[in-house]
Structure 1
Amino acid sequence: MKISVIIPVYNAEKFVSQAVLSALQFDEVHEVILIEDKSPDQALQVCEQLAEQYDRVKLYQHPDKGNHGAGPTRNLGIEKSTGDFISFLDADDYYLPNRFDAEKELFKRPEVEGVYGALGVHYYTEKAKQQYYQLFGDRLTTVYKRHDPKDVFLGQIYMLGSFGLFSIDALTIRKDSLMKKMDILFKASLRLHQDTEFLFRLSYYLNLYPGILDKAVAIRGVHEDNRITQVDSKKINPATTRVLLWKEVNDWAENETTIPENVRLHILRMYRSFQIANSTTSKKWKMILKYFLKDYKSIRSGIYNINFRGNLF
């Protein structure tokens, strides 16, 4: 296996070295691609030092040296990659020693186009734990049962609460399958939740198989400067970002002719539900929707992922 690990870097000078070293521990990792996204801290200098120190570490920026967000930054990493497989890692997260154990066996089968595993959590500070423990706890972010690839897309769309979640940090993809089956990779229009939208489409087009689900293969690093902090501080309106997410999903579903009509209508209902919830003139509908979501787990859980489940209303 020749794996390209893509790490978007923004405001992560304290953590990116750990992320890089956690990827370099594997002989299967052909290269670690750092895409520096105009960080306000000293992350660029740290990345330059890492690229100089390790032959397998490659550093890039956007052509205009500007900030473009996680989606376009990951897209640039994919464009620059030369490995046969693609894995992702956020700059404040890290891999565990078992990260590619399942992949080494599963990818021997040509029908396997992607493998997903379980993500653990680590709180870098006590303050971060106090702030986000209710959101993440000590739980694994994982799919709860081993599903056939044909059921992964519908499981995410219809029954996320009982289906579970897989994170982009615990995902490995065949590059040729990705490039052949998905014309559009990460959406530049989404500054948040672009990974959620990507995983929806990915699970529709590619055969994704479960790897290690009962123990973590990677760790989510939680600290006070995580992107979700922007939601907590009201710099970003969580209701608006959810509308944007489901608008993108709905636009895709409307244009993808192979999606069954009942699935397309379900996605449209989800989009309209969030439009109602985001309306400043419809408090009555907000209350009805909130009650509806709380009392019907299979529907409620199907419209949000762990990155924003604590900020529904």
Structure 2
Amino acid sequence: MMKISVIIPVYNAEKYVTQAVESALQFDDVCEVLLIEDRSPDNALEVCRLLASKYEKVQLFQHPDKGNHGAGATRNLGLEKASGDLVAFLDADDYYLPNRFDAEREIFKNNEVEGVYGALGVHYYSERAKAQYYSIFEDRLTTVYQKHSPKDVFEGQLNMKGSFGLIHLDTLTIRKESLKKMQDFFKVHLRLHQDTEFLFRLSYYLDLYPGILDQAVAVRGVHEENRITKVDSGIIKPASTKILLWKEIHEWAIQEPSIPENVKKHIARTHRSFEIANAPAPRKWLMIAKDLITDFRGIRSGLYNINFRKDLF
């Protein structure tokens, strides 16, 4: 039997965290559920205390200074405290489905497997949330569309493999020992998209295998207060947040000598496209003019990047 530590960062989730915890406790393979409370403004800490007293497998932690440090530092603390052979993540307003670890039980029998990912569904917690965000998420799965070799996952996540799809942290299970290949885990200075940045680097250093891709193994809870929901919907301008994400990936790629040059160029161009998209109008067109002269291929790839194009025009 597997020994899985489930890490749940908790912030402003008093309405949802009980469902998240109980969805993880349904599995005998889960040896512990680690609630890492990040100084929530609501009553989440008290709910977490009740859950820890009710369930033997649930442990509650806070940062040493009891402060708010963001999702990256909170997940890092969970990784530090985890004692299982495998680690899985779950957002406090999301939940696992009964098939969450069905594929993992078989795939992890192969000791070369370092991680397994699956598909994420969506649930709207209210009619208002559905009316506001259905056009963004609909009822689609967040998933990698086909089963790929681990060697293709990194470039696939970077959009270098066509319509590859996306890995979501809720569906990822990692062999904890394999994390030693990474120098650091979640970037604490990224307040948004630190999970995406982590997944990019993780897919480079670890061999990640496909699990169940054609049906959900976990569910994203969509509600009005969710910060990522606001980013994905455009309430928070995505270019302004993604420019920081791609800056981080670009700097890492420069320092990682084993990354092929064509991949480094792709990362640099993607970073540049978001820089241009986020620039004020006069500077934006000067940047485009410069890149048309110095790197026509790069600016063309930027102009055909859907995220860049919708922010540009």
TM-score of the superposed pair, with normalisation by structure 2: 0.90
Greater relative contact order structure (CA < 8 Å, 6+ sep): 1
Amino acid at match of 2:41: P
The aligned residue for residue 197 of structure 1 is 197
Contact 1:187–1:198 (8 Å) recurs in 2: yes
Contact 1:117–1:166 (8 Å) recurs in 2: yes
Question: Secondary structure at 2:158's aligned position in 1?
Answer: helix
Contact 1:4–1:31 (8 Å) recurs in 2: yes
Question: Secondary structure at 2:140's aligned position in 1?
Answer: coil
Q: How does 1:93-112 map to 2 (within 5 A)?
A: 93-112=94-113
Question: Secondary structure at 1:282's aligned position in 2?
Answer: helix
Question: Secondary structure at 2:163's aligned position in 1?
Answer: helix
The aligned residue for residue 167 of structure 1 is 168
The aligned residue for residue 207 of structure 1 is 207
Amino acid at match of 2:215: K
Pair 173,286 (structure 1): closer, same or farther in 2 beyond 3 Å: same
Instruction: Work out the CA distance in 1 between the residues paired with 2:146 and 2:312.
Output: 26
Pair 41,167 (structure 1): closer, same or farther in 2 beyond 3 Å: same
**Could you give the per-residue CA deviations for residues 186-240 of structure 1, whole angstroms, max 9, x where no partner exists?**
0011100001100000000000000000000000000111113554899855322
The aligned residue for residue 54 of structure 1 is 55
Instruction: Work out the CA distance in 1 between the residues paired with 2:39 and 2:150.
Output: 37
Instruction: Work out the CA distance in 2 between the residues paired with 1:311 and 1:10.
Output: 30
Question: Secondary structure at 2:64's aligned position in 1?
Answer: coil
Pair 273,219 (structure 1): closer, same or farther in 2 beyond 3 Å: same
Instruction: Work out the CA distance in 2 between the residues paired with 1:160 and 1:273.
Output: 18
Contact 1:18–1:94 (8 Å) recurs in 2: yes
Instruction: Work out the CA distance in 1 between the residues paired with 2:161 and 2:129.
Output: 26
Question: Secondary structure at 2:263's aligned position in 1?
Answer: helix
What 5-or-longer segments of structure 1 have no aligned partner? none
The aligned residue for residue 129 of structure 2 is 128
Instruction: Work out the CA distance in 2 between the residues paired with 1:111 and 1:231.
Output: 36
Amino acid at match of 2:185: L
Instruction: Work out the CA distance in 1 between the residues paired with 2:58 and 2:103.
Output: 24
Matched, 1:246 2:225: no
Deviates more, 1:276-285 or 1:260-269: 276-285
Contact 1:238–1:312 (8 Å) recurs in 2: no
Pair 18,161 (structure 1): closer, same or farther in 2 beyond 3 Å: farther
Contact 2:119–2:143 (8 Å) recurs in 1: yes
Displacement of 1:185 = 0.1
The aligned residue for residue 227 of structure 1 is 227
Compare CA radii of gyration and give the structure with the larger one. 2
**Could you give the per-residue CA deviations for residues 242-265 of structure 1, whole angstroms, max 9, x where no partner exists?**
110001000110111100111111
Displacement of 1:276 = 1.1
Instruction: Work out the CA distance in 1 between the residues paired with 2:18 and 2:160.
Output: 37
- What CA RMSD, in Å, does the superposition of the two structures yield over aligned residues? 2.5
TM-score of the superposed pair, with normalisation by structure 1: 0.90
Deviates more, 1:275-284 or 1:232-241: 232-241
The aligned residue for residue 70 of structure 1 is 71
Contact 2:6–2:90 (8 Å) recurs in 1: yes
The aligned residue for residue 268 of structure 2 is 268
Amino acid at match of 2:195: D
Q: Percent identity?
A: 68
Displacement of 1:166 = 1.4
The aligned residue for residue 182 of structure 1 is 182
Pair 213,312 (structure 1): closer, same or farther in 2 beyond 3 Å: farther
Instruction: Work out the CA distance in 1 between the residues paired with 2:262 and 2:233.
Output: 38
- Matched residue pairs, number? 303
Displacement of 1:158 = 3.0
Amino acid at match of 1:206: L
Amino acid at match of 1:250: H
Pair 204,83 (structure 1): closer, same or farther in 2 beyond 3 Å: same
Matched, 1:38 2:39: yes
Instruction: Work out the CA distance in 1 between the residues paired with 2:162 and 2:82.
Output: 34
Instruction: Work out the CA distance in 1 between the residues paired with 2:236 and 2:133.
Output: 17
Displacement of 1:295 = 7.6
Contact 2:273–2:303 (8 Å) recurs in 1: no
The aligned residue for residue 88 of structure 1 is 89
Amino acid at match of 1:106: I
Instruction: Work out the CA distance in 2 between the residues paired with 1:235 and 1:93.
Output: 21
Amino acid at match of 2:62: Q
Instruction: Work out the CA distance in 1 between the residues paired with 2:231 and 2:122.
Output: 19
What 5-or-longer segments of structure 2 have no aligned partner? 292-298
Instruction: Work out the CA distance in 1 between the residues paired with 2:138 and 2:144.
Output: 16
